[in-house]
Amino acid sequence: MNIRPNVYVTRMLPEAAIDLLAAHCDVEVNPEDRVLERVELLEKVKGRDAVISLLTDTIDDEILVAAGPQCKIFANYAVGFNNIDLSAATKRGVVITNTPDVLTDATADLAWTLLFATARRVVEAEKFLRDGKYQGWGPMLLLGLDVTGKTLGIIGSGRIGSSFASKAKGFNMKVVYNDIAANPEFEAATGGVFTDKERLLQQADFVSLHVPLLPSTHHLMSDKEFSLMKKTAILINTSRGPVVDEKALARALKNGEIWGAGLDVFENEPAVDPDLLECANTVLLPHVASATIETRTNMGLIAVRNILNIFSGKPPITCVNPAVLQAE
Ligand code: DGY
């Protein structure tokens, strides 16, 4: 690389990633631990050769224009890239990359954390103890639901759905799954059986969502879907909040149509629907599925390597709009 690209990073990332970037580029990092306001982002991207953006930054045509025609890449620090107008980026010749694979297991692990925490009422039980209410063992105290041997319903059979489902083997669970088409790789890895969405919702004791946010997956789970689920079923969502109609979910929980929900993502983050907050049978986490030291470091390193590759004349590792590269 004979130039030092000018790179903006919209929020502090793990040190190893920033150090690698700074060894090769002129770097400015948003020094404040908060999402930039729109006007700030518009100003900060101006004249940059590359930007590391987050899922909380909306990257649309206006931002790409503000960055300028010299800007070659927006490296998104997430596997999801629904915050980016991909067709605008492709039209303007800007490479967009994401951070797949390195967060697959961490996200699947957190989906399991939510599943167990909800089924066994872990958060409620811990609060009960800390509140000084524990008076001794009780036969009816905080009864939850069995996990081992139950039926796991997976919607979305990609990398994370597959990792999540393959971990069910240890719990001797039957796996059913749904996607736009049957996925032989998923079946080989998990033993899962392709099932239409309605039957999956009727059969599954746990329904876990692993789809990207697209117009076709917006409110994939709403009133009709909850009405099909077992009254003892639990919904897990570690994908994107708008995949679930939050108002409909709160109604289903309050009316006892389903037993519980474990959620890491919300429709209007960081806001959480007040109706959901009122439901005791939920475990609600602040979008931390990939939040481990190792995973967040690896996500940063991939974002940086994508940038370094672009400026060394190599293909980026994880480009999500490869049409841009073909056009070159
Ligand atoms: C992603 O990478 O899309 C995750 O939601 C971040 O935690």
- Catalytically annotated residue among 121, 287, 296, 305: 287
Catalytic residue among 240, 246, 257, 296: 240
240 is catalytic: yes
Q: How far is the CA of 309 from the centre of ligand 1 (A)?
A: 23
Q: What is the pLDDT of residue 117?
A: 98
For the purposes of burial, counting CB atoms within 10 Å of the CB of 280, is it exposed (0-12), middle (13-18) or buried (19 or more)? exposed
Per DSSP, which regions of the chain are E strands?
6-9, 26-29, 50-53, 73-76, 95-97, 151-155, 174-178, 193-194, 206-209, 234-237, 260-263, 282-284
The stretch 156-172 carries a mean pLDDT of 98
- Angle 144-277-111 from CA coordinates, rounded to 5°: 55
Atom of ligand 1 nearest to the CA of 291: 7
CATH topology of domain 6-102+293-327: Rossmann fold (3.40.50)
Q: What is the pLDDT of residue 1?
A: 73
Report the pLDDT value the prediction gives residue 327, as an integer from 0 to 100: 72
How far away, in angstroms, is 262 Cα from ligand 1 center? Answer: 16
Task: Give the domain ranges of the chain.
Answer: 6-102+293-327, 104-284
Total-model pTM: 0.96
Q: Distance between CA atoms of 132 and 207, rounded to whole angstroms?
A: 34
Predicted confidence at residue 177, as pLDDT, reads: 98
**Residue 103 alpha carbon, nearest atom of ligand 1:** 2
Computed over every residue of the chain, the mean pLDDT equals: 97
**Looking at the domain 104-284, which fold is it?**
Rossmann fold (3.40.50)
The predicted-structure confidence for 172-184, as pLDDT tens digits, reads as follows 999 999 999 999 9
Local structure of 286: helix, strand or coil: coil
Could you read off the pLDDT of 206-244 as tens digits, one per residue? 999 999 999 999 999 999 999 999 999 999 999 999 999
Q: Beta strand 6-9 with 50-53: parallel, antiparallel or unpaired? A: parallel
